[in-house]
Structure 1
Amino acid sequence: RIEDLARDPNHREKHDRVVTRALSALPVFVELGMPYLKKKGELWCWKSSISELNDVGKALQELNGCVSRVLEYQLPGEDAPRFIIALQKMGETPEKYPRRVGIPQKKPLI
């Protein structure tokens, strides 16, 4: 599980980039992805809307991250734009994150 692997010293704070699919809320991605990143690494989240940026402030504060850029793109044959939200890690992730399996989804950091 992603929550368990994030505690493995071979993976925790070792990666330059983590890429997610649009399967969960942005605060959940932040909690599950940030522990893998080195300082200045980026978490790329594919989203169909940027409205979730309104809900991610607490998670970014807790996990020492910030929004670095938002890229808009269009899929062929679709009218609605899509987005890649790039979040940058600014400092170490507190040891208590990620929380146990299921907790980030049930009680997101918002």
Structure 2
Amino acid sequence: MLTEEQLNQFEQYYKLLVEWNERMNLTGITEREAVYEKHFYDSVSLSFYVDINGASSIADIGSGAGFPSLPIKICFPHLKVTIVDSLNKRIAFLQHVVSELGLQNVTCLHGRAEDIARLPEHRDQYDLVTARAVAKLNVLNEFCLPFARKGGTFAAMKGGDPSEELHEAATSMRELRAKRIGVEAMQLPWEQSERHIVLLQKTDQTPKKYPRKAGTPLKQPIV
């Protein structure tokens, strides 16, 4: 059960999202019930399939308006959160939300995932790494797996059936030292649209050659 403070944080987050969305493109969804279901509930649904109480750190890559990491942080305040996004305006919004909601231990980093994953303080460091609707899995693996520690989990949050993406991503999983541990399927409770969460476990440290320089994974995915 969420406390009154946590419920207030979600409401404040919603209001800030709508307010800032008038000045910059954060989301196409602004109706209150839809934001709560398609952004907040959808983000927190990760905790149905991953033991978030057992994790101490999470990196959210290409977080956009803060999904899934900030709703997860509100529900699990013990987490140390790092958010990486390449657009400075979005980082400014996220820093404002973190400040207004009084969230502790949240770092918002402006930069490309490929560059930040090369820094020793972020490389092979995180218990849990997430990305929600960012890119296809063979690209996402190179963006995200370098952040996960050996034994850590990468959760790729997807819409429709990811079977084809998983097939295409087999080589990138091998190259980036990961194995598939599950694919979870669910539907949003009211709107009923499909969601899938691909769960990978990092089996070893990231090879030196990865990630390649910024822009390369998108242009030339590992195949």
TM-score, length of structure 2 as denominator length: 0.48
Q: Higher helix fraction: Structure 1 or Structure 2?
A: 2
Identity across matched positions, percent: 40
Q: 2:113 is matched with which residue?
A: 2
CA RMSD of aligned residues (A): 1.2
1:97 aligns with 2:210: yes
Deviations 1:8-62 (A, max 9, x none): 1111011001010112010111111111111110111011221211111000110
1:100 Cα deviation after fit:
0.8
Distance (whole Å) between structure 1 residues aligned to residue 184 and residue 200 of structure 2: 11
Deviations 1:71-108 (A, max 9, x none): 11101344442100011100111111111111101110
Give structure 2 stretches of 5+ with no counterpart: 1-111
Q: 1:27 is matched with which residue?
A: 138
Q: Which amino acid aligns with 1:50?
A: P
Q: 1:15 is matched with which residue?
A: 126
TM-score, length of structure 1 as denominator length: 0.93
Distance (whole Å) between structure 1 residues aligned to residue 169 and residue 178 of structure 2: 10
Judge which range, 27-36 or 76-85, deviates more. 76-85
- Aligned residue runs from structure 1 range 1-110, under 5 A: 1-48=112-159, 49-51=161-163, 52-110=165-223
Q: Residue 20 of structure 1 aligns to a residue in which SS?
A: strand
Which has the higher relative contact order, 1 or 2, with Cα contacts under 8 A spaced 6 or more apart?
Answer: 1
Distance (whole Å) between structure 2 residues aligned to residue 40 and residue 28 of structure 1: 21
Give structure 1 stretches of 5+ with no counterpart: none
Distance (whole Å) between structure 1 residues aligned to residue 191 and residue 167 of structure 2: 25
| Structure number with bigger Rg | 2
Q: How many residues align?
A: 110
